[in-house]
Amino acid sequence: MVVLLIIISGVIYWVFFHGKRLTLIEDIEEKKEALLWMEKDGKVGYIDKSGKFKGIDNKEVIKAKLTEVTNSMSNVASAVSAYRQEGDTWPNCATITEIQTSLGVSLSNVNFISKMSVTDGIIAALVRRIDGSVDGKGLILTPTLMKDGSIVWNWSGANGMPKAFIPKR
């Protein structure tokens, strides 16, 4: 393994080269315990003050990466809510491009969503490039129109998304 130290705009980065794979990890200090986040033998973790590698549960890594998906879906939900409030109908957008042109939400920089659509206000997204346990599986955000005109959103999974990775609210 080759280790390089790079300083960009005053931030220290460590670059680990594992054969064909290059991993860039920002040097961070968290609660004065974690000195360096890194990947070792396929596990994500950090080096503590004593120099020992502390692995992080893969489930937590998956949840962290899914945050990009859920945040993107929440942004679309805000646009869907505004659309509904203005026009008294639900939008329909079959692709990410249509979501951008019709609702004004850009998803071009989202790495972990392969497809997203809005059908009668229901937002569906397919996950990619996170982990085999969630890749190809979906998250669904369903609106419920309340009597007072407000909208309540509920999460569910699709294509076998493990329950542990479906947001509660």
In the chain, where the domains are located: 2-56, 59-165
CA dist., res. 52 & res. 62, Å (int)? 23
CA-closest candidate to residue 23, choices 35, 9, 11, 6: 6
Per the CB < 8 A criterion, the answer to whether 34 and 48 are in contact is yes
Higher pLDDT, 169 or 75: 75
- Residue 15: how many other CB atoms lie within 10 Å: 13
Q: CA torsion sign, 114 to 76 to 98 to 161? A: positive
The predicted pLDDT at position 64 comes to 86
The predicted pLDDT at position 49 comes to 67
Strands in 151-158's sheet, in edge-to-edge order, are 113-119, 122-127, 138-145, 151-158
Q: Does position 43 have pLDDT exceeding 70, yes or no? A: no
The predicted pLDDT at position 38 comes to 56
β-strands 138-145, 122-127 pairing: antiparallel
Q: How far is CA 13 from the centre of its chain?
A: 23
Q: Tell me the CATH class for 59-165.
A: alpha beta
The string of pLDDT tens digits covering residues 123-137 is 999 999 999 999 999
**Which residues, in sequence order, are bridge partners of residue 125?**
116, 139
How would residue 42 be classed by pLDDT, with cut points 50, 70 and 90? low
Q: pTM here?
A: 0.72
Q: What is the mean pLDDT of the chain?
A: 80
